[in-house]
Amino acid sequence: MPGGEREPSARATEITPSPPRAGEGSGEASRFSAWRTRVAKANVLIVGDVMLDRYWFGDVERISPEAPVPVVKIARSDERPGGAANVARNVAALGARAMLLSATGKDEAADALLRLLDTERIHTSFLRDASLKTTVKLRVIGRQQQLLRIDFETPPPHELLAAHLAEFDHLLGDADALVLSDYGKGGLAHIATMIERARAAGKPVLVDPKGDDWERYRGATMITPNRSEFRQVAGRARDEDDLARRAQALRRDLDLDALLVTRSEEGMSLFSDAGTLTIPAQAREVFDVSGAGDTVIATLGTLLAAGASLPIATAIANEAAGVVVGKLGTAVAEPGELS
Three state DSSP letters for 187-252: CCCCHHHHHHHHHHCCCCEEEECCCCCHHHHCCCCEECCEHHHHHHHHCCCCCHHHHHHHHHHHHH
Confidence band for 174, pLDDT divided at 50, 70 and 90? very high
Return d(Cα 236, Cα 45) in angstroms, integer: 33
Q: For a pLDDT cut of 90, what percent of the chain falls above it?
A: 72
* Catalytic option among 49, 182, 208, 294: 294
User: Taking residues 95-106, what's their average pLDDT?
Assistant: 96
* Pairwise CA distance, residues 152 & 47, whole Å: 20
Question: pLDDT tens, 207-231?
Answer: 999 999 999 999 999 999 999 999 9
Work out the number of other CB atoms within 10 angstroms of the CB of residue 3.
11
Q: Is the pLDDT of residue 1 over 50?
A: no
In this predicted structure, what is the pLDDT of residue 159? 64
> 138-147, 159-168, 297-306, 312-321: which has the minimum mean pLDDT?
159-168
Question: What is residue 255's DSSP assignment?
Answer: T
Residues in a beta bridge with 207: 180, 223
* pLDDT tens-digit series, residues 258-290: 999 999 888 899 999 999 999 998 756 665 566
Q: What's 335's DSSP letter? A: G
Each residue of 125-138: pLDDT tens digit? 999 989 899 999 99
Measured over the CA atoms of residue 226, residue 231, residue 236 and residue 240, the dihedral's sign is negative
Active site residue 255: no
Q: How confident is the model at residue 330 (pLDDT cuts 50, 70, 90)?
A: confident
Averaged pLDDT for residues 158-162: 70
pLDDT at 187: 86
Local confidence band at 15 (pLDDT 50, 70, 90 cut-offs): very low
Measured in Å, how far apart are the chain's first and last C-alpha atoms? 39
Using a pLDDT cut of 70, give the percent of the chain over it.
Answer: 88
pLDDT exceeds 50 at position 318: yes
Average pLDDT score over the chain: 88
Q: For the residues 74-90, what does the mean pLDDT come to?
A: 95
pLDDT at 11: 29
pLDDT of 185-196, one tens digit each?
A: 888 989 999 999
User: What is the pLDDT confidence band of residue 13, given thresholds at 50, 70 and 90?
Assistant: very low
Mean pLDDT across 239-254: 96
Give 27-54 pLDDT, tens digit per residue. Answer: 668 899 999 999 999 999 999 999 999 9
pLDDT at residue 56 is higher than 50: yes
